Structure 1
């Protein structure tokens, strides 16, 4: 008789709400084991008993054959005394004890559910809320852990007999699928007008008719309401843009199939993986030259489109009837996305002609994620639905729980404990009450969900950021100020599980410097725990402060004032703004409302204005985005650049602007000039990093900050640095823009707590 072995197994990670318990049950049956499996606040617990070889096979398969949505972080096995048993059962969840369970992100409709959706003989045919253990809502409906139906917004929907039978059948793929439902027992969809009167007929078919007729609709998704319009309708998309007060910023487009996406844009293997994967972000792709089936108002003067495929059954049903539709956040201007029905009807009533809504509540508002394929991997621009709140694991332990409050723009926050960092969904710009309320409420939700009571709280150095003010009002915690650009570089280091040292290149629009000026073109010698400012772009005045950020021509005036021999009257940017030009130049010269800035973002603004691309902006980064798209990617030329050899090293941006003007006045095309500007900036990065590497022996470079969302600059810089023998770190798990700041702040506090404070080049 074979000897029995019994083990107690603890599985941690994203293992709740992903079909892990039925998977374990099936696995145990396959290996002939007795025991039990259940959820608790720490993850999944297993008691397994059987022949030694069977238990060994079970443990191996447990790690390697897990469900597709599972993310196993840790498996702990403890031998126990055998006690005999005949069967393997799924037991009731345990809600006591420390909360270490990880919550899954929302997942797009799986192929099996999609087949049911389209099968006229299936009882869930055309049912907008079908799901199973492999797909459906997770984070957006979870109120508490463990992840069981009573702790979700599905609690009010009692399963019918057929759904209950599936739920309790270990052989069924809906075995313990918490949101399981059908038309008899689950949520229902309805179409209402602005007066909240329900419209007759099939809600989805009627909504599709309205969209085809050129109407604007509000559609309730997983994490909030979207505003929808037919993507090929000039009138509908222009009306949506006008009503939403969104002048130029591109709209996202949902397409019904991958084939339609391929007709609109260039889709390589990585883009296809992103479009069809379970996360379903918005994917920024280059438009095809041979298509004009998208209205001009969708993405004005933009060579790219943000495409996404349907990720809920409702979206599949709708787009199968309409074709491509604009699907943009349900808000006005910079407000947070609406996610409650009353709130949506109040706030979006002046925009939408009708509302396609339903009665499954959303517990956490969550915007769509945005990615850009780059060199075979995703470059995250916004990490939200489909990614949050999945943890970012690190090779180090946080000695004490940390809350990092993030930046003012593109805000996220981060809670960290043990070896996990939980970055929030995209919160947005903290500039109004609604967004601040979303920020504070989401922090409380995360604290409860992951049982984290922060002891240290990290914040930006800027005293007027609302995230900083929030931190300052907390009691009983240690406040840790983290410089903005150090947080960028720390985020890149932690993203790559590297502690440093590194030469950090932090290029962005605005960050509060330790000297009280506005930084944004920084070369830092850094570790996670500390930094030195080893180089930067030569500071110039920011005439008018915030006005200069909204009006890039002011930065052109500031930079051009360094060269008073220029025939400025020949430049269209000067002629267009001549009524204010002298006043702005005087403001810059006298330092009146003209703080100094070393921002590379503002350098991009100046060049965009000089090249007649953009005098004023309607959304953050618009001038830089359009300058990148204007550049000829085949042009490899560059300009001489003045780089000082002192400490810190200074890069003369004014010299670069002068070279741009000289080239322009000589008759060179603006596409070529824009490309040469990018190439020169990449050479400046390489030159400074090489010099610092020679001085310090550091051969690793970390690139971070919103400027590196520009893949033309990123490509040029990475190639040049690698050619010089440098190791280059870029982002892949969090955005390089301010959406990654909170992750960097948390990483800094963790490193300081681990006493990694010494800088190795000193």
Structure 2
């Protein structure tokens, strides 16, 4: 007989791993114990060599659905051993190296329980088991035991305790186990504090009443898993517009939740991959193309929102104005399943917040901040410890593209490529917008959930609180802090303050280098690999020359980069104002290419010229000439804005970042996009300046203005611009290949969230037999930046 100590690392706590170990150990006739500790799961077991081998093989093959085994080690156990049977022992606290599981959508068995009148979990909104339910959202400390979660406030009743201790039950050691008798409860309230009585609704309970309220056109604030949402019937224009007006979210698309795939299929045609994502334990919002209309009709509807392409259950136009995609998710908690049971149409389910503030998670905070938005509140008394927004993904080609990484995905670690195995603790602070931070340790990157835009004070406070929680949860003591090169980012300033306070080194990482490194890391490119060509296109990032970059071609590895090419820089008149007022970008692009006198002479009849003529051009020109709040930028995000405004899309103002570019992508004429005639390509000019190649859009503007004179439609011009931009990007790659060894090209940055541009560039490069690497695990936008910052700092540390 042999006695072994088996150490299991990975996502192995709170996912039914110990019960699986127990069941398999008993089946293999073994003696010993299993328990959780700070590093994962530890098994001490005695049996024949054959039985032990069978046990380990079955453990890896029959791993619970939510468990992830990263590593399993076996050693001879030399300590005291006096077990006559196999038992589950009490958890032990020591150095934290284990992983925290992400919150998981309600499993099919629990769904059956809540709709089974004979089950004691019938209509209980907090039903869960080891295969599903809250994890990160309720945890305060590791190990993941009930007393370290917000469920500690709820003592188990005898029935729940019986199931919790029954090793044959799927709720064995399910830490959030609860029922009607002993668990959290929901309450329905009116926003005006007037009483609610049962005769007001035809309802089974408060949850069922919410369905009735939504059907009546009311707005209900619903406390869910990682935050409070605002909900209304997505087919009632009045209700949706009322929500927009009250929330002051005037244009940005709303997320939708539907009871099941059948309801979603009334509005979209999800692919097999999209259905898989919708039904996955992560249950993200999946962006899908609207169903049922030919491209021509879709464009007409987008251009004329009051047109009557309506069906009985048509979505309100205000759900996603100017979009040809919808963001759907399925119910991911019993509460949502119960609300939607009688709802045969989608609901809007958007973050419960004002403007750009973080989502509310506290009941009293929600009453104060959302009292003038919601008509009713459905709240519960289980504390949300960790705020979690809904994750957003889409499928481009056959690959999943993460747009926002949060609930269901965070904080699942990302395994680092070869060469990063023994890196000390590193903290990367992320960006200013779409912020995440990243902890590096033991060959893994732990990326936080999406934390929002730090320029909002409430978001910055939430960022600091979440950072402290993660550092404590994982007992992470950084030896290096990595920050963005931009000196004014709040994340950069905080990182430097932390470094000074703890007397540790700071690395300043260039923004686009971090984008490229993040994509390298998630694609498992080893530390010592040859440089790749990274194409980083985004809104802006601070450059090493003090200008704002955003259209970059870089030869890069983890240690360094060389800027090979860029787009011609132009001024951002008014700084941030240029982001919210696209016409400013059009003006400066035109002024960079032509004299204003020439433009008036040749194109004076065009609407865009007449529009700009009414602006205070003398003042704007002075700002440019004297370089007052008008930094130079090579940003492709701003080029998209300029083109959109020129053809009449979001010309005056955008209410959220990227609105003009997203609207233009939605309008693209597919026929023109697939037309291979040379006349369908706008030309760009390739120059060289200070040893860096530069793409000049002047010829493109001349051709585009000519198209406007010819009254070519918005969808056709939008298609030609997308195709032309992809074409010039690939032409530049071909040119750079003549001077550099380029076998891999990375496409990164927020602009590559544009699925048309991503596919156009990818397909053209692949036709040249160039390997193209894109993002999947982390966003291509700034939500993935902290991963890149972390691995660059690690590389500098390993090879100074």
Asked if Structure 1 and Structure 2 have the same fold, meaning a TM-score greater than 0.5 normalized by the shorter chain, the answer is yes
Residue 611 of structure 1 corresponds to: 647
Which region of structure 1 is more displaced relative to structure 2, 581-590 or 446-455? 581-590
Which one of 474, 499, 516 corresponds to residue 450 of structure 1?
Answer: 474
Residue 300 of structure 1 corresponds to: 321
Residue 760 of structure 1 corresponds to: none
1:631/1:268 CA distance change after superposition, 3 Å: same
Cα distance in 2 for residues equivalent to 1:442 and 1:453 = 15
Cα distance in 1 for residues equivalent to 2:433 and 2:698 = 27
1:632-679: CA deviations, max 9, x gaps? 233233222211256211011233222222223234322122111111
Shift of 1:585: 4.7
Cα distance in 2 for residues equivalent to 1:453 and 1:30 = 42
Which region of structure 1 is more displaced relative to structure 2, 5-14 or 82-91? 82-91
1:127 matched to 2:157? The reply is no
CA contact (8 A) 1:133 1:176 kept: yes
Residue 638 of structure 2 corresponds to: 602
CA contact (8 A) 2:573 2:624 kept: yes
1:334 matched to 2:356? The reply is yes
Residue 94 of structure 1 corresponds to: 92
CA contact (8 A) 2:137 2:388 kept: yes
Cα distance in 2 for residues equivalent to 1:362 and 1:38 = 27
Residue 552 of structure 1 corresponds to: 582
Cα distance in 2 for residues equivalent to 1:86 and 1:11 = 23
Trace 1:485-500 onto structure 2 (pairs within 5 A). 485-498=512-525, 499=527, 500=529
Trace 1:153-192 onto structure 2 (pairs within 5 A). 153-192=150-189
CA contact (8 A) 1:106 1:385 kept: yes
Unaligned runs of 5+ in 1: 758-762
Cα distance in 2 for residues equivalent to 1:654 and 1:609 = 16
CA contact (8 A) 1:398 1:753 kept: no
- TM-score when scaled to structure 1? 0.97
Trace 1:54-453 onto structure 2 (pairs within 5 A). 54-80=51-77, 85-95=83-93, 97-196=94-193, 199-201=196-198, 202-289=205-292, 292=311, 293-322=314-343, 323-395=345-417, 396-397=420-421, 399-453=423-477
Tell me how large the CA RMSD over aligned residues is.
1.5
Which region of structure 1 is more displaced relative to structure 2, 207-216 or 411-420? 207-216
Cα distance in 1 for residues equivalent to 2:50 and 2:174 = 31
- TM-score when scaled to structure 2? 0.92
CA contact (8 A) 1:388 1:425 kept: yes
CA contact (8 A) 1:557 1:585 kept: no
1:551-604: CA deviations, max 9, x gaps? 111111111122233333222122233210633355435544322110000000
1:505-555: CA deviations, max 9, x gaps? 010001111111111001111011111111100111112211111111111
Which one of 658, 669, 687 corresponds to residue 702 of structure 2?
Answer: 658
Cα distance in 1 for residues equivalent to 2:609 and 2:407 = 44
Cα distance in 2 for residues equivalent to 1:691 and 1:301 = 37
1:563 matched to 2:600? The reply is no
Shift of 1:321: 2.6
CA contact (8 A) 1:605 1:623 kept: yes
Residue 572 of structure 2 corresponds to: 542
Cα distance in 2 for residues equivalent to 1:196 and 1:39 = 46
1:2-28: CA deviations, max 9, x gaps? xx2221111111100100000111111
1:621 matched to 2:658? The reply is yes
SS in 2 for 1:371: strand
Residue 296 of structure 2 corresponds to: none
CA contact (8 A) 1:276 1:309 kept: yes
SS in 2 for 1:619: coil
Cα distance in 2 for residues equivalent to 1:164 and 1:329 = 35
Which one of 788, 792, 795 corresponds to residue 744 of structure 1?
Answer: 788
Cα distance in 2 for residues equivalent to 1:260 and 1:110 = 20
Residue 613 of structure 2 corresponds to: 578
Which region of structure 1 is more displaced relative to structure 2, 541-550 or 365-374? 541-550
Cα distance in 1 for residues equivalent to 2:107 and 2:517 = 36
Shift of 1:81: 5.6
CA contact (8 A) 2:423 2:443 kept: no
1:198/1:59 CA distance change after superposition, 3 Å: farther
1:746/1:362 CA distance change after superposition, 3 Å: same
Shift of 1:61: 1.6
Which one of 659, 668, 693 corresponds to residue 631 of structure 1?
Answer: 668
Which region of structure 1 is more displaced relative to structure 2, 289-298 or 511-520? 289-298
Which one of 33, 36, 46 corresponds to residue 39 of structure 1?
Answer: 36
Cα distance in 2 for residues equivalent to 1:525 and 1:692 = 10
Trace 1:637-648 onto structure 2 (pairs within 5 A). 637-644=680-687, 647-648=691-692
1:77-108: CA deviations, max 9, x gaps? 1123696743111000001x211111000000
Shift of 1:35: 1.1
1:507 matched to 2:542? The reply is no
SS in 2 for 1:357: strand
